[in-house]
Amino acid sequence: MRSVPCSPSSWPASVQGGTGGRTAGIGTGHVIRGLERSEASGNSGSMSALHPPSVRVRNVVGQDMPDLLRLDREVFLDDPMPHSILRQFVDMFADHLLVAEDEDGRLCAYVLATPPHRGRSWIVSLGVASAMRRRGLAEQLMRESLENLRTEGAHTVLLWVEPTNKPATALYDSLGFVPDREGPRPDHFGPGADRILMTLHTTP
């Protein structure tokens, strides 16, 4: 799920100054660019792990670039992040890009957030490989990322979600995100790409 579109000109202010935004649709492949794409596809409710996968969660490193690019293209078939943009995110926000690797050392999930700016952060992208879905991995990554942001002083975390991505919406709701009262914003990410803004207020 992606919460922010790949075009820099349409990123929120916090992203334009050094942050990005995508959320890999939980199960649908496009819900978080801003939590628009998220891996919760097929999950429901709190998305608790049915069969916790054996994965190692860590910060991204430069050597992960080929595997991360492969993962992003696998998860976001219709909207993969350009190599140049993903490379810059790795360079600029390594401390806020968590990856999960499976027992074979292959990346199977990632979440990208923006560093707190005046107490606000965005979830830019959340993606989980299809073979690793329905195991609570998206929730695990989100919780670790949110805890890191709280520790760094973020008191507000935002993301965009596709109105039809019910699994992603359910995941964010279980984590405490609240949808904006405005409801879906027509064509927010382009013609036909409606989005709902969701906000989480944290306690640093």
Q: How far apart are CA 172 and CA 141, in angstroms?
A: 12
pLDDT surpasses 70 at 159? yes
Contacts of 60 (CB under 8 A, 6+ apart): 68, 90, 94, 97, 98, 99, 110
Matching residue, tokens 């670790």: 144
User: 17-26, 59-68, 73-82, 191-200: which range is least confident on average?
Assistant: 17-26
pLDDT surpasses 50 at 32? no
Helix (H, G, I), strand (E, B), or coil: what is residue 23? strand
168-179 tens-digit pLDDT: 999 999 999 999
Q: Which residue has the higher pLDDT, 118 or 203?
A: 118
CA distances from 22 to 38, 40, 81, 102, 203 (A): 9, 14, 9, 22, 24
99-127 tens-digit pLDDT: 999 999 999 999 999 999 999 999 999 99
What's residue 15's pLDDT? 45
Per the CB < 8 A criterion, the answer to whether 135 and 48 are in contact is no
Q: How far apart are CA 158 and CA 199, in angstroms?
A: 5
Average pLDDT, the chain: 81
What's residue 79's pLDDT? 87
What's residue 35's pLDDT? 36
Highest mean pLDDT among 2-11, 72-81, 142-151: 142-151
Q: How far apart are CA 48 and CA 63, in angstroms?
A: 31
Q: How far apart are CA 21 and CA 182, in angstroms?
A: 21
List beta partners, residue 101. Answer: 56, 107
User: 3-17, 21-35, 53-67: which range is least confident on average?
Assistant: 21-35
User: Which amino acid would we find at residue 142?
Assistant: M
Domains of the chain in start order, with CATH, are 8-201 (3.40.630.30)
